[in-house]
């Protein structure tokens, strides 16, 4: 956008990042309280998930507030989410812990959608290149 108007996709994903990150953080905090002292593997995974949730909220706030390095933050979230999702899912299967297939699908699918619709968008790249 040459006229400096924020693309709709930036606003939509900014709000979605904040909402999804917050919901996932609440779920992970509940899981952390539930599994503390029961399973170190589960607690370890939940701590990493909370870090990824925080990164998602931070990236969403950056989209809303027009921060310069916001696309890089979203790329970090994408890489961290996929990595942590795979590691936690596999470690839970190995340790015979309950693992959420829905959570694992979300941990892979949402970053893929974010990558295709936001990070790789030429319109968003042009807009973010003009941010201060």
Domain ranges across the chain: 8-129
Torsion of CA 67, 68, 74, 77, to 10 degrees: -80
Residues 6+ apart with CB under 8 A from 25: 50, 53, 54, 57
Mean of per-residue pLDDT scores for the chain: 88
pLDDT (tens digit per residue) in 3-56? 678 899 999 999 999 999 999 999 889 888 887 877 777 788 889 999 999 999
Q: How would you class 39 by CB atoms within 10 Å of its CB: exposed for 0-12, middle for 13-18, buried for 19 or more? A: middle
pLDDT (tens digit per residue) in 102-118? 778 888 999 999 999 99
């Amino acid at each position: 956008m040459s006229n400096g108007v924020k693309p709709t996709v930036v606003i939509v994903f900014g709000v979605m990042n904040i909402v999804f990150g917050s919901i996932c953080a609440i779920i992970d905090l509940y899981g952390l309280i539930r599994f503390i002292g029961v399973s170190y593997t589960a607690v370890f995974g939940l701590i990493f998930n909370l870090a990824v949730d925080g990164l998602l909220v931070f990236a969403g706030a950056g989209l809303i507030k027009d921060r310069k390095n916001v696309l890089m933050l979203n790329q970090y979230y994408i890489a961290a989410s996929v990595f942590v999702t795979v590691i936690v899912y596999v470690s839970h299967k190995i340790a015979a812990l309950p693992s959420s297939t829905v959570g694992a699908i979300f941990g892979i699918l949402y970053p893929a959608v974010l990558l295709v619709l936001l990070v790789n968008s030429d319109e968003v790249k042009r807009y973010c290149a003009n941010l201060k």
